[in-house]
Amino acid sequence: MSDVRLPRDVRLVHAWPAPGSWAFIRKSDKVAGPTAWVGCPECGQAANLSDHAIDALGRVTPSLDCPTGDCTWHVHVTLDGWAQALVEKVGT
């Protein structure tokens, strides 16, 4: 299993990220935050990490296993920019 650093998709807030990136969720109606959406770089499926732990440096545990049934993307992920996302003001 490989280690992957994913860039943050900063175009969107509370929306699905582009494949191979992640988007920040401070909170939403359906997901307890702060957490993230991650877009699978292989099949494009987006999944939220509400059932994963994200440490202060953006390291996600346990490893990510794409929820799409026939997709084999399964990696250890670090979210680039996670610490910054936690402290910035989002939205208005």
Q: Which residues sit at the interface with Zn ion, rule CB under 5 A?
A: 40, 42-43, 45, 66, 68, 71, 73
CB of 5 to Zn ion, least distance (A): 17
Question: Of 4 and 71, which CB lies nearer to Zn ion in the complex structure?
Answer: 71
Residues with Cβ within 8 Å of 46's Cβ and at least 6 positions away in sequence, in order, are 16, 17, 37, 38, 39, 40
Scan for tokens 């084999």, then name that residue. Answer: 72
Question: Of 24 and 73, which CB lies nearer to Zn ion in the complex structure?
Answer: 73
Q: Helix, strand, coil: what percent of the chain each, to 5?
A: 5, 35, 60
CB of 64 to Zn ion, least distance (A): 9
Tell me how far the alpha carbon of residue 34 is from its chain's centroid: 11
Question: Of 26 and 46, which CB lies nearer to Zn ion in the complex structure?
Answer: 46
Alpha-carbon distance of 6 to 38, in angstroms, equals 9
Phi first, then psi: what are they for 27, rounded to 5°? -165, 160
CB of 67 to Zn ion, least distance (A): 8
Question: Of 6 and 66, which CB lies nearer to Zn ion in the complex structure?
Answer: 66
CB of 92 to Zn ion, least distance (A): 33
